[in-house]
Every structure is written in structure tokens, then in C-alpha cells.
Structure 1
Amino acid sequence: MWHAMFDLDLTLAEKVIRAVSIYLFLVVALRLAGKRELSQLNTLDFVVLLAVANAVQNGLIGADNSVTGAVVGATVLFLVDAALAFVVFRSRRAQKVVEGTPTLLIRDGQVVEEALRREELSQDDLLAALQSAGAQTVEDVRTAWLEPSGKVVVVPNLHRQNAHHYDDLKARLDHLTELVEGLAPSGRS
């Protein structure tokens, strides 16, 4: 009983080839899935992730249920991931191929509609990302782009932001002036 726990049903070479193949397939599939999916894992995406994990399990380890097979498969995945991370770190070209490039979403306060369609982002998704970065409207943003990681980077429109600050400060000053004038004795001005 216990002796079969560590016996490989497949050769070590086949284990390695299976693990590398599945890893590369998943890298390509996630790259093709798009940037948005990486940042917004909803219930449907989570179900797909679980189903994919289950679907690739047999491809990864074959009919082998041994502890040794699982350890070999996991070790190969970690090694391939580390090797690919090293290559991506060293090569700008490899980084663009594996991770992708940023996508410009807003240019000079104007939404780049084609980019939203290509990335399958709705106006509501974009506005939520802008608001989480501190902007209230698209006009408050000079530039925004979607990173390959799925994060939206926002560069505020400082002129518009300064105008908002000026209006806010002026309103507060006017309010304070009214309060101070209300404190003055009625016979004196």
C-alpha cells in the first residue's frame, strides 16, 4: 500500500514535458484573455479558474496519483515560472510578448473608445477606476492607461484640479467671511 505512494506511473521526462506544456498553455491563454480579467476576478471568472485547474490536472500529471508525481509536476511549474520571470526581467522584448503593453484609455481628457472596446471595458468600469484614483469625471483626467497587470493608472488634469481647489477655497473663504461678519456687533461695521 505505502510503497505505491512514491512510485511514478510515468517517466520523469514525460512529467517534465507535461508540466512545461501546461504551463506555457496557461501563460498564452491568460495573455490572450486580456488585461481586464487579471484585475477583475468576478464569480464567473473564479468558476472558470477552478474548472481550468481541474481540466488541466490530468494533462499535468497524467494517470499518476503518486506523491512523487505531484512533487515533480509542482517543482517543474515553479522552475519554469522562475526561468520565464528571469527572461522577462532581462529582456524588454520578452516582457512585451509575455506580459503585453499598456493600453491608452484617456488622452487629454477624452476617452479612447476603440481602446475600451478592444479591452472590453465599459464606461462604468472606467469611471469606477478613475474614481478610485481620486478623479470624479473623465474631464478630471489628463491621461489614463490600462497596465498589463490590469491596473488603471491615472494622471490628473492639474489645471482642472487647481480650478476645483480654487473654487472650493473661495467658497470656504466666503463662508468664513459671513461667519465673521455675523459676529461683529450690530452697531459697528
Structure 2
Amino acid sequence: MVQHVVAAAQQGVVDDLLHLPMPPAEKVIRTVAVYLGILIVIRIAGKRLMGQMNSQDLVVVLLLSNVVQNAIIGEDNSLVGGLLGAAVLVLVNAGLDHLTLRIPWLAWLLDGRPTVVVTDGLLDHRALLHLGMTPEELDNAIQAQGADSLSQVRRVAVEPGGSVTVELQPDARTATIGDLRRAVEVLTARLEAQGSGPARG
């Protein structure tokens, strides 16, 4: 009797791990559909959700996976189903990455283009409003990249991934070691040229 109970329990564990409650094709379709759906939602939500998140954005990101979980797995809690879903996600994502490298319009469709919010120190309030960013958030991003004010900035763009790229005015750029070395070489050459000139009486 005990052996039958143990054997039944073992068989139940095996069934839970390996038995798919839904056809594999349905699992693949569910996974791809949810992947594309989330991709569209994030594309519409804009670059802010990917980069400059506030507390509300963070809550949305944290809850997103729980909201769509049942849409992917349904009644499937099997190990095989989980591995199949993970494999489909990885393959679809890799395939889209490969296609976006070869098809520019698809890259634009999925990722978008950088949004320029500052040009020659002038803030584009409309572009900033479209992104859902406040001037304070933009100031923080600019200061984090070495600019104290908009007057020191030539161009600021919010990339499709949400990162902020800042191009400083030439006078506002921090000198590198190479810049200093070249300046010293120029000064040294000038001093040597003056020293080798004819002496004045």
C-alpha cells in the first residue's frame, strides 16, 4: 500500500514537471503575443519609462510582469512550459534585434529616434512635455554629465532607451590630459622659437 502511495506521488511530481496542460503551439502564441503587446505599450509610453523613472513609473514596471503572467502561462505551472516560454522569449527578442540591425525602418518602429530637447542652450518645452519629463529632471540629467546650466549645452537628446546624451559647448568642455599635453607642446614650441631668434641689442 505504501509503495503504491509513493509511486503515485512520484508520478504526480513527474506529471507536474513534464505535462503541458496546453498545446505547445498555444504556449508559443501566448508568449509571442504578450511580448509584442508589452513592446507596444512601452513604445507608446515613451522613453521616460525606460530611463528617467519617477516613483509611479517604477510601480508600473514592478507590477507589469505580474499583470501579464497569467496571459502567458494560463493554467500551466509545468517546468517544460516555463522553459518553453523562456526559450520563445529569448529567440523572439534575438530575432527582432537581428532584424532591426538590417532594416532601419523596423528599428525606428520598435525603438524610435532620439528626441532633441535642448539646442544651443534653448529648451524645447514641447518636446519635454511630450516625453513627460519635468525641467528639474532634465537639469539633474544635464548636471550629472558635467554642465551647470543650459547655456553650457549645445545639444541634449533623450535616446530611445531612455538615456540622456549631452553635447557641451566647446568652451564648457572639461580639458582632457591629451588637451593639456598638446597645449604644453604648443607653448614649448613657441618658447623655443622665440629663444632661437636673433638677440636684440
TM interval, shorter chain, is 0.7 to 0.9
After TM superposition, the structure 1 = structure 2 runs for residues 108-119 of structure 1, keeping only pairs within 5 Å, are: 108-119=120-131
Please list the CA deviations of residues 68-117 of structure 1 after superposition, one character each: whole Å capped at 9, or x if unmatched: 11111111111111111111111111111000100111111100111111
Structure 1 residues 123 and 100, CA gap change in structure 2 (3 angstroms)? same
Structure 1 residue 17: Cα displacement: 0.3
Structure 2 residue runs of 5 or longer lacking an equivalent are 1-11, 176-201
Q: Pick from 32, 38, 51: which aligns with 1:26?
A: 38
Matched AA of 2:136: D
Q: Distance in 1 between matches of 2:120 and 2:61?
A: 37
Unaligned runs of 5+ in 1: 166-189
Q: Secondary structure at the match of 1:63?
A: coil
Question: Given the alignment, which residue of 131, 134, 151 partners 1:139?
Answer: 151
User: 1:45-56 maps to which residues of 2 (within 5 A)?
Assistant: 45-56=57-68
**What secondary structure, in the 3-state scheme, does the structure 2 residue paired with 1:134 have?**
coil
After TM superposition, the structure 1 = structure 2 runs for residues 84-123 of structure 1, keeping only pairs within 5 Å, are: 84-123=96-135
Match of 1:4 in 2: 15
Whole-angstrom CA distance in 1 between matches of 2:141 and 2:101: 28
Partner of 1:128: 140
Q: Tell me the residue number matched to 1:178.
A: none
Distance 1:114 1:42, change over 3 A: closer
Find the aligned partners of 1:22 and 1:86 in 2 and give their Cα distance. Answer: 20
Q: Distance in 2 between matches of 1:48 and 1:136?
A: 32
Tell me what 1:171 maps to: none
User: 1:113-138 CA distances to partner (integer Å, 9 max, x unpaired)?
Assistant: 11111111111011111101100000
Does residue 150 (structure 1) correspond to residue 134 (structure 2)? The answer is no
Percent of aligned pairs sharing the same letter = 36
**Counterpart secondary structure, 2:147:** coil
Deviation at 1:49, TM superposition (A): 2.1
Show the counterpart of 2:191. Answer: none
* C-alpha distance in structure 2 between counterparts of 1:43 and 1:107, whole Å: 29
Give 1:16's aligned residue: 28
Helix, strand or coil at the partner of 2:113: coil
**Counterpart amino acid of 1:114?**
R
Which amino acid letter does the alignment assign opposite residue 135 of structure 2? Q
- Shift of residue 41, structure 1, vs aligned partner: 3.7
Normalised by the size of structure 2, how large is the TM-score? Answer: 0.77
Greater Cα radius of gyration, structure 1 or 2: 2
How many equivalent residue pairs? 163
